[in-house]
A and B are shown apart, each in its own frame.
Chain A
Amino acid sequence: MPSENLAITWRRIPERYRLAGSYCENCKTSYFPNRKLCPKCRRKGRLASKQFSGRGRIYSFTEVSAGPAGFELETPYLLAIVELEEGPRLTAQIVGATEKDAKIGDEVEMVFRRIMEDSPEGLIHYGYKFRLAKRCAPK
């Protein structure tokens, strides 16, 4: 079983729990995950914290039929590259949908979910997943 050190999980809470990333005040570029150094400006960069809205669109997606260790119970699942409305892209699962429901360009929004568990006595890791916006629009 995979496991992740408690310290790593703890350090990543702002990003994984609420999509906190960074923004370079010098070149006006948003980054997710958080960057400690702006790759465009390097030493001239001025990075500040930035809260992302959690809204975006599917840039690409796949249905994973052979999941890695730790993801057995949820396989098959939909995995996507999501382009956040602020610009950066990230990798995340799409919940509550199958391959037939999704297409490139679909609007999605962030939800807070369990990502995986370490061995039965271990940590439960939480973080962001996404769901199709059209599925949760009021009727």
Chain B
Amino acid sequence: MRRVAIAGVGMTKFGEEWTRGFRDMLIEAGTRALADCNLHGEEIDAIYVGTMAPGSLVGQEHVGALVADSMGLTPVPATRVEAACASGGVALRTGYMAVASGMHDCVVVGGVEKMTDTPGNEVASALGGAGDQEWELFMGATFPAIYALMARRHMHEYGTTEEQLASVAVKNHSNASKNKHAHFQNEITIETVMGSKYIASPLKLFDCSPITDGAAAAVLMPLEKAKKYTEQPIEIVASAQASDAIALHSRESMSALKSTQVAARKAYEMAKLSPKDIDVVEVHDCFTIAEVMAIEDLGFFKKGEGAKASYEGRTALNSEISVNTSGGLKGCGHPVGATGVKQAVEIVWQLRGKADGRQVKDCEIGMTHNVGGSGATAVVHIMRKA
């Protein structure tokens, strides 16, 4: 396998972007990523784009070809990758494999979701497809409900409290307030979260990530080639993915994601690193409980201690481990298919020292963690300065 690096990255502002459509956002993110590494376009020999539900949300399928056309890159082969909320992370991994294998020399990876053109309950139904349609959603489960069932188990097994969960949202809003690309750039307090209405108990409105529009992109090349296009290539030193039962009720544990644990173990092995080596991590916090489980399952804290650690500030910017410096899904927003690629964009900015007012000091090694559905897919990447 060849060593692979990210040469350039770009993203749109995340938010409720009424003036821009699906392809507008893809073009903006893609163009920024190309400009970031001085590419004109002729060099590109494959495109992978992660998007979860454009068919349900905006009636558009066949997104691979749409991207190639919109970017003026036909006849380059262009492929859509779908793994629910992990579509972006799995697209990144697909691009990584294409370059590592020697099949392609310059790959653009994109992620996009256009969510606010669609009424809220239709968005909820479309996202529901990430779970088991016939045996969870049909019975009245929603995604907040599925994560609430996990939160209740975590509270039952480890004594996690609603205030501790709330602290995750407070920290992520604080980070997002320093990120001009973030959906929410306002700080909140524990009281804001605790005073918000229940969506699915014990999860309240401010425990949930929002419905967001956005796109992100990255350019991947063999490491030696990337050095010719950028002074700051970021090497992808591990890429790992795992699957689990699609329905929460069929899993061994509901207070941990086995897929995250397996993907993390493989990623650490591949990079010959351990959790203590990671300086900055973007984890999949679609709900506050998801970040708590992630920081445990990725090995940063012992099982059951993640919520307490968050409450004590041990995951804040420039603390023990800087978690979700972008603001995470909660603060930066969650345009589903874009999220996994946005995580990589944030880590690249951090490792290059270009993360503006939210820069992690002395950071050399970063990680991304992207989850599909309620944990049926997990994908983990580790990156470091080349």
Give chain A's interface residues, CB within 8 Å of chain B: 2, 4, 8, 12, 33, 59-69, 71, 74, 77, 79-81, 88-93, 99, 104, 115-116, 125, 127
Contact indicator B139/A92 (Cβ below 8 Å): yes
How many chain B residues have a CB neighbour from A under 8 Å?
34
Contact in complex: B142, A91 (CB < 8 Å): no
A68 touches B198 (CB 8 A): no
Which 7 A-B pairs have CB atoms at the shortest separation, nearest pair first?
A: A62-B148, A89-B249, A69-B121, A60-B149, A63-B201, A62-B200, A60-B152
- Give the residues in chain A near B249, CB-CB below 8 Å: 81, 89-91
Query: Does any Cβ of A come within 8 Å of B197's Cβ?
Result: yes
Instruction: Say yes or no: A79 contacts B145, CB within 8 Å.
Output: yes
Interface of A is mostly: strand
Indicate which residue in A62, A115, A116, A127 contacts B145 across the interface (CB closer than 8 Å). Answer: A62
Measured between beta carbons, the chain B residues less than 8 angstroms from A99 are: 201
Instruction: List chain A residues, Cβ under 8 A from B156.
Output: 60, 104
Q: Judging by beta carbons under 8 Å apart, are A68 and B137 in contact?
A: yes
Tell me whether A104 and B152 are in contact (CB under 8 A).
yes
Q: Which residue of B lies closest to A92 (CB)?
A: B139
A66 to B140, CA, bound (A): 10
Tell me the interface secondary structure of chain B in the complex. Answer: helix
Bound together, the chains give a CA A69 to CA B201 distance in angstroms of 19
Give the distance to chain A from B26, nearest Cβ to Cβ, in Å: 29
In the complex, are the beta carbons of B152 and A67 less than 8 A apart?
no
Considering the chains assembled together, what is the distance between the CA atoms of A60 and B255 in angstroms? Answer: 11
Please tell me if the beta carbons of A65 and B140 are within 8 angstroms of each other in the complex: no
The winner among B125, B148, B250 for most chain A CB atoms within 10 A is: B250
Given contact pairs A8-B134, A60-B149, A66 touches B139 in the complex (Cβ within 8 A): no
Contact A66 B135 (CB under 8 A): no
Q: Determine if B35 is an interface residue (Cβ-Cβ < 8 Å).
A: no
Quick check: is B270 within 8 A (CB to CB) of the other chain?
A: no
- A2–B129 CA distance with the chains assembled, in angstroms: 12
> How far, in whole Å, are A10 and B137 apart by their CA atoms in the complex?
18
* B264 close to chain A: CB less than 8 A: no
Q: Which B residue's beta carbon lies closest to that of A4? A: B138
* CB-defined contacts of B148 to chain A, threshold 8 Å: 62, 64
B197 closest partner in A (C-beta): A65
For residue A63, give the distance in angstroms from its CB to the closest CB of chain B: 5
When the two chains form their complex, are residues A91 and B201 in contact, meaning their CB atoms are under 8 A apart? no
Min CB gap A35→B, angstroms:
10
Is the CB of B254 closer than 8 A to any CB of chain A?
yes
Contact of A68 among B124, B149, B201, B250 (CB under 8 A): B124
B140:A81 contact, CB within 8 angstroms: no
Q: In whole angstroms, how far apart are the Cα atoms of A99 and B202 in the complex?
A: 10
- Is the beta-carbon distance between A69 and B124 smaller than 8 angstroms? yes
**Closest CB in chain A relative to B238 CB, distance in Å:** 28
B142 with A67: CB separation less than 8 A: yes
For residue B144, CB closer than 8 A to chain A, the reply is yes
Question: Scoring B residues 88 to 114 as 1 if CB is less than 8 Å from chain A, else 0, what string do you get?
Answer: 000000000000000000000000000
Pick from A8, A60, A88, A93: contact of B139, CB below 8 A.
A93
Bound CA span A68–B250, Å: 22
Is the CB of B136 closer than 8 A to any CB of chain A?
yes
Give the residues in chain A near B137, CB-CB below 8 Å: 68
What is the minimal beta-carbon distance from A70 to any residue of chain B, in angstroms? 9
- A79 and B140 within 8 A (CB): yes
Interface centre among B136, B138, B156, B197 (most CB of A within 10 A): B138
Q: Which residues in window 151-205 of B have CB below 8 A to A?
A: 152-153, 156, 197-203
- Asked if B141 lies at the interface with its beta carbon under 8 angstroms from chain A, I say yes
A38 to chain B, nearest CB (A): 13
Q: B346: shortest Cβ distance to chain A, in Å?
A: 29
- B135 adjacent to A90 (CB under 8 Å): yes
Within the assembled complex, what's the spacing in Å between the Cα atoms of A104 and B144?
Answer: 19
What chain B residues lie within 8 Å of A33 (beta carbons)?
134-135
Contacts known (A33-B135, A69-B121, A91-B247); A60 close to B140, Cβ less than 8 A: no
Shortest distance from the beta carbon of B154 to any chain A beta carbon, whole Å: 10
Which residues from B are CB-within-8-Å of A88?
250
Tell me whether B201 and A59 are in contact (CB under 8 A): no
